[in-house]
Structure 1
Amino acid sequence: MSKNVSKRKAGKLVEYTFEFPQKPEKKTFAQHIYDERDGKFFGRTRKSWLYLFIFYGVYFVVLISLFWLCMACLFATLSEDYPKYQLSDSLIGTNPGLGYRPMPEDIMRGAVVRYRAGNKNEMRYWTSRLDEFLEPYQNPSVLPGGGTNQMSCEFGKLPEPGNVCAFDVDQFGPCSTANRYGYNESKPCIFLKLNRIYGWTPDFYDDIEDLPKTMPADLVQHIRELPEHERKQIWISCNGVFTGDQEAIGSLAYYPSRSIPPYHFPYTNTKGYLSPLVAVQFLNLKMRQNVFVECRAWAKNIIFKGGSRLRMGSVQFSMLIE
């Protein structure tokens, strides 16, 4: 439909024609898929679809090629044997953290080891967690390389290149699988370990006259009684966090000792390496009281910061035997 409009301009009569927009013709569903009148599939001609596929084909080929090139350049700078950034250049830094096992599988439990004495199911939960954690220690064949490169280490006898120190689980004494880690006797064991930092070497408190004033008196006495060649170790101590916890924590026993020997360091990502462990057994923990425990590692280059947040060189958890 059109309409003519006349307008006089500079003494002349000019006529304009306006075309009114018309409603598009309704199409059936089949015509939306393929319209025979203009030969379009889904609103595009064959030629238009061809250009579209060529454009996006080239676009994605170029995009994938650039991504592959970037990843290839990145992996060319990395090694499977050692991290690119180490020690102070890395995000981890040079201060190893301290971890503990068993940890609850459910994060909602929090850092609490809790069970009812005499309840086999609750005890089995924690002991099975320890069985799983200690499996590589008890069965080195599950380690990469089958544990064939493990050797016995001692003071003055470091592992040869390509070898790692074996860890004798029999040294855990009553904190063993056969003894169910003391949980069935209400004398539970907790295993402590340092987090691995590639290339990190501890700086020991080997001078008995230069021990920190904050070091527990019983640990100081223990170090003084050792031969001089055995003083170069990372020391471990545990205590109650609050005054009530210090009274309720009772006596502690450490296996195989309350230290980590120097021949386990540095960590160099050698196959079959096992983190050294210290088992702490609570011999007479006060029953039916949630006892908050803080354990820390002692070395000159291990910075300590306690508390429940942003801890450094320490770990905090609680024990509750009902």
Structure 2
Amino acid sequence: MAQEGVGYVNPNSSGPQGGSRLRRIGKSICNTEKGEFLGRTCSSWVKIGIFYTVFYACLAGFFALMLIGFFATLDERAPTQQRMYSLIKGNPGMGFRPMPNVESTLIKFSKEDNNTYQPYINNLNNFLKVYKAQNFSLEDCPKDFQKDLTICQVNMSMFGPCTEDNNYGYDEGLPCVLLKINRVYDWLPKPFSANETGLTGDEKNRFEQFISPIRKNIPLSSNHITVSCEGENEADEDNIINVEFYPPSGFPYRFYPYMNQPGYLSPIVFARFNVTQGALVQVWCKLWAKNIKHHKNDKAGSTHFELFVDK
């Protein structure tokens, strides 16, 4: 223990040196002799306050001008980047329902247990609500492209057995999967025909795939985007007994181009699957047109999901 001797000063003491330290701290905050507060005089604080007020006002004004200039380049109806200048390069993808869990692409159920397939039925019903509500006020358009931006009616009677009354086939072990094309502004499909000539490169390769034996029983139509569904692998192909499409011709051209029309409804197609029960089937559904390319990784022109119909 240190001895208190000559020259020792207790730091906690309120004596002369302890008081001097507190005075120095107080003086550094407010120096009445020099008229300073925190090391600056009143005029110095006024000057620096004016400087930063003007600086941040100019910065805010510059940012506001940049925002005004940016929003002046935007169109409320049309995207700035379109077709080959957009991220998707004018190549539409495809989505599917039911998908009650957005993190999973597996459709798994047992036809003997309605608790396993009821979430899929509910998901399809919720998706189709807008179609059932608005169909009566829309027009039954002609078969060709729409040049006057008419909102066309989706014919719900074309879905065959894939209806709510039939539980979309899930109680029979024949599930219906709803397919839809993602919206691409001002995009028009270029159809394949049964006797294409003069094709080269990618278009020729896609056409050869299009008329392959897998798709021989799919009807060709000059005013529809044809759709096909097949197994991703040979084993998956073996486990797909049959696929039926409603409507059978695919997606009608009369819904294109999409120009962000208010109340627009995307066309939909139901695929009804008959697959081997107790086997996991990986399905790859594709759209077919001259200007649609397919890629598994980014789902270009296609969609992937898995089917498992339990025994």
Q: TM-score normalised to the size of structure 2?
A: 0.79
Matches within 5 A, 1:19-30: 25-26=21-22
2:159 is the counterpart of 1:172: yes
1:155 aligns with 2:143: yes
Q: Secondary structure at the match of 1:252?
A: strand
Alignment of 1:1-322 (within 5 A): 25-26=21-22, 35=30, 37=32, 46-107=42-103, 110-140=104-134, 148=137, 150-155=138-143, 159=146, 161-208=148-195, 212-215=207-210, 216-217=212-213, 219-223=215-219, 230-282=221-273, 284-305=274-295, 307=296, 309-322=297-310
The alignment partner of 1:213 has SS state of helix
- 1:197-246: CA deviation from partner (whole Å, max 9, x where unpaired): 1111111112445593323436334436xxxxx43321111111122211
Number of paired residues? 283
* Residues 44 and 177 of structure 1: CA distance in aligned 2, closer, same or farther (over 3 Å): farther
Write the letter of the residue equivalent to 1:319: L
Contact 1:116/1:122 (CA < 8 Å) preserved in 2? yes
CA distance change for structure 1 residues 35 and 92 in 2, over 3 Å: closer, same or farther? same
Q: Deviations over 1:166-213 (max 9, x none)?
A: 112232122122222222222211111122211111111124455933
Q: What RMSD, in angstroms, separates the aligned Cα atoms of the two structures?
A: 3.1
Structure 2 CA distance, aligned partners of 1:114 and 1:44?
74
Whole-Å separation in 1 of the counterparts to 2:128 and 2:24: 70
- Cα distance in 2 for residues equivalent to 1:24 and 1:100: 79
Q: Distance in 1 between matches of 2:181 and 2:43?
A: 66
Q: Which runs of 5+ in 1 are unaligned?
A: 1-22, 142-146, 225-229
TM-score by length of 1: 0.77
**Which is worse superposed, 237-246 or 210-219?**
210-219
Residue ranges of structure 2 left out of the alignment (5+ in a row): 1-18, 198-205
Contact 1:32 1:43 in 2 (8 A): no
